[in-house]
Amino acid sequence: MADLTTCDRDVSDTPPTHYIVKLRSFSLLAKNDVEKYTSADFEAGGYTWKLAIYPNGNKTKGVADYMSVYVVMARENFLHPGLEVHAVFRMFLLDQNRDNYLTLQGKARRFHKMKLEWGFDRLVHLKTFNDPSNGYLVNDTCILGVEIYVCKETYAGAKGESLLMIKDAVSHKSTWKIDSFSILYDSSNLEASNSFNAGEQKWKIQLYPKGKGSGTGISLYLALDDPTSLSPGNQIYVEFALRILDQIQGKHYLGKAKHWFSASNPVSGWPRFVSLSYFNQSNNGLLRYDRCTIEAEVTVHGMADAL
């Protein structure tokens, strides 16, 4: 609904049945550079919605000199990834001088996970809106409303996924200090660090002091802390480095990799990260006074999710 020619305009004496937003001190929205105001959640037709109001026009769509208003379907409605909701909605703008409403209604629109928002880029021209004789803005107050009627629900048969690559991704570091390595070597096959955050996920370092399976070297991995928290369609593209720090010369033992992590593929690393003979030589600085320090550096570059 890019302009008023694509919708029906009318006047109604009946107030909206589903939701009303009263904006007081409206002029302060512009003065405080409020680009968009989003209402609280409300229910209509068995679903949760919001109103998004751009008091000076939706700049992302190149709109100026108009008020833009949209109906937004809450993402929480889409527990079923293929759900599509077809709805007709009517916007209301109260004429406070005549005690009736300017109404705008368009054709039914299809809401789904990739299109949560429909509305009017140009609800009313700001010159018309700001003129007190028109009654839309009185005592710096205006009243907007909406009615939403769900026509039908459908479920798309096709499955899909959405990939988001992250611009200027930030690296996160975590350090794991092990004070008594010989105890680990004697008592356990697998050790793990405390969990740490990177890219909105929790991770941990996994260490096999005697090696995983081979027994000829130390195995070292980066792992998702809780793979079950990911849905089957989730994948996380990660660039990471694992280091055993050199405590003498600072020449750290380093491994770098890139990996798509998922619930079914939650671990990546090296089954033979460093040989036990090299690790145990005190002059190499990796193990000193039975202590070693392992560092993880994790950068999340992309995330894929099911549609």
Beta-bridge mates of residue 296: 174, 242
For residue 3, name the pLDDT band (cuts at 50, 70, 90): very low
Digit-coded pLDDT (tens) for 281-300: 989 999 999 999 999 999 99
Please give the pLDDT value at position 4: 43
Please give the pLDDT value at position 188: 62
Q: Kind and range of the H or E element at 170?
A: none
Beta-bridge mates of residue 199: none
The answer, yes or no, to whether residue 103 has pLDDT greater than 70, is: yes
Q: Kind and range of the H or E element at 31?
A: helix 27-31
The HSE-up count of residue 83 (CA atoms within 13 Å, CB side) is 15
Cα(165)–Cα(168) distance, integer angstroms: 10
Digit-coded pLDDT (tens) for 11-23: 999 999 999 999 9
- What letter represents residue 273's amino acid? F
**Token pair recorded at residue 140:** 């710096």
Cα(264)–Cα(242) distance, integer angstroms: 22
Domains and CATH numbers, the chain: 4-155 (2.60.210.10), 163-306 (2.60.210.10)
The answer, yes or no, to whether residue 1 has pLDDT greater than 60, is: no
C-alpha angle 290-294-296 in degrees, rounded to nearest 5: 175
Phi, psi of 305, rounded to the nearest 5 degrees:
-140, 155
Digit-coded pLDDT (tens) for 65-100: 999 999 999 888 776 667 889 999 999 999 999 999
Residue with tokens 């096709």: 158
Average pLDDT over every residue of 219-246: 93
Digit-coded pLDDT (tens) for 270-280: 999 999 899 99
How far is the CA of 21 from the CAs of 10, 40, 100, 287, in angstroms?
20, 9, 16, 66
Average pLDDT over every residue of 103-119: 91
Average pLDDT over every residue of 239-265: 94
- What letter represents residue 2's amino acid? A
Digit-coded pLDDT (tens) for 137-156: 999 999 999 999 999 888 76
Residue with tokens 């039914």: 108
- What letter represents residue 47's amino acid? Y
Query: What SS3 state is found at 60?
Result: helix
